[in-house]
Amino acid sequence: MPYDRALIDLTATEAVALLRRRAVSPAELVEAAAGRIAEVEPAVNAVPILCLDRAQDRARAIAAGAPRPHDPNWLAGLPVTVKDLDEVAGVRHTFGGSVLFENYVSERSSPSVELLEGNGAVTLGKSNSPEFGFNASTINALFGPTRNPFDTRLTVGGSSGGAAASVATGEAWMALGSDLGASIRLPAAFCSVVGLRPSPGRVPRARRGMSFSMLPVVGPITRTVADCGLMLDAIAGEVWTDPLSLPGAAPGAFGTAATTPRKPGRVGFSMDLGVTPVDPEVAAVVEAAIARLADAGAGIERKAPDLSQGRDVFHAIRGVNHLAAFAPMIAQHGERVIPEIHSSTERAASLPIADYARAENARVAMFQRLMDFLEEHDFLICPTAVMTPFPAEWRRVERLGEHEFDSYIDWIAITFTLSLTSCPVISIPCGFTAGGMPVGLQVLGRPRGEDALLRMAAWCEEVLGAFGRKPVDPMIRH
């Protein structure tokens, strides 16, 4: 179906400015998005569950309502996608393509979706995810793999892979994702867009799940840092049903920070955090980006705190949480539950309680070393992914060069190690390999320091370029 490409090419910030002035209507943006989805979905498979009639109804209702020109959190009818791990009232919800929930329809929305739609977003559909978010590549039994728009033979990473691909290709102007070990940042890096893992509690989480765990968070995926701040304003807030929920920031605070670039002072940099090998091709792109940031005035220092226990600590803590969350499901459904969940829960069940206690103590020590480091440094930078995207059908990575990974998720140790710290972390595009595949940088800020982190990211984007600003047309390869 035909659509207005000029609308698709707008950033979220530009589109919202037009919506607030009523220079364009929400229905026009929904129509443009629907046309773009029809064009690119066969190539990427990013949004397998659509709710376009609901979106048009919502668009018309917003257009008929009173304008809110002075509310900086108001999205005024901007179309978005929601990851198929968060619920949207009246819309099919499969928990990431699980055959166990193939026909389930949500009765109510998740708190983050309630905030997002309450601030004027229009949900177009549910983006693809691995089952229960249990993998770092986006593939599941119901919908199959989501494919990378820069090379459709390859993966988008996971678990918010459909979300990142929907933004990168212009199917939506922003996407709601979630991140436990890598799930916002990795797909953002693989798709050359921006992804923010906020501090735990910054964005309220679903009422079901690991309510007291600091690992799972909900956050934005967008094409620019300014768009990231805009979306964070729309989804951040205190919700009493989330026991970790933080008080809301001042209206528009994150959007203001994301449009106020600030050059950092002292910044630590590590290529591997002491936890993983890194592909030389990725390392070369990262080194070039770090050199440009240093030349522009950032005080880059090649030092980082000791986080080398991150892999063992993460496996212990994540596994125990999964044992609590998924053992009842395994007992009920057996082999219909995906192998990754069996693997994680079995590993946790065999872990002596003393080993879990030691992991908690090691995590505290890692955190204290990081806090000491951040007393003298404003931020810590490292790569987002240690390799380029691999075939979309792969469910795990076995090795990198001569290094063989012990676990199906050990290749994302550079992201899940930072998850353990509970600090906000943003992934921004920093360039491309010689083969044309995107590479991302992670920037970690101080706890609950999203405003400073967004200012730093905006400055990096000024220096390096906004590589994801314009949607990409899928590069179809067989």
Residues marked active site are found at: 83, 159, 183
User: Is the sign of the CA dihedral 427, 458, 116, 79 positive or negative?
Assistant: negative
User: Is the sign of the CA dihedral 60, 17, 198, 279 positive or negative?
Assistant: positive
Cα–chain-centroid distance for residue 36?
22
Q: Which amino acid, one-letter code, is at 220?
A: P
> What are residue 105's DSSP bridge partners?
92
Query: Is the distance from CB of 323 to CB of 349 less than 8 angstroms?
Result: yes
Query: Is the distance from CB of 419 to CB of 179 less than 8 angstroms?
Result: yes
Under DSSP, the state recorded for 194 is: E
Contacts of residue 403, defined as CB under 8 A and 6 or more positions apart, other chains included, come to: 277
The C-alpha angle 179, 183, 184, rounded to 5 degrees, equals 80
Q: Which amino acid, one-letter code, is at 410?
A: D
How many Å apart are CA 55 and CA 71, to the nearest integer? 22
How many Å apart are CA 400 and CA 128, to the nearest integer? 26
Number of H helices, E strands in the chain: 15, 15
CA neighbor of 227 nearest in space, from 271, 175, 178? 175
Contacts of residue 14, defined as CB under 8 A and 6 or more positions apart, other chains included, come to: none
How many Å apart are CA 290 and CA 287, to the nearest integer? 5
Q: Which ranges in 149-279 belong to alpha helices (H)?
A: 161-168, 185-190, 225-235, 253-258
> What are residue 301's DSSP bridge partners?
268
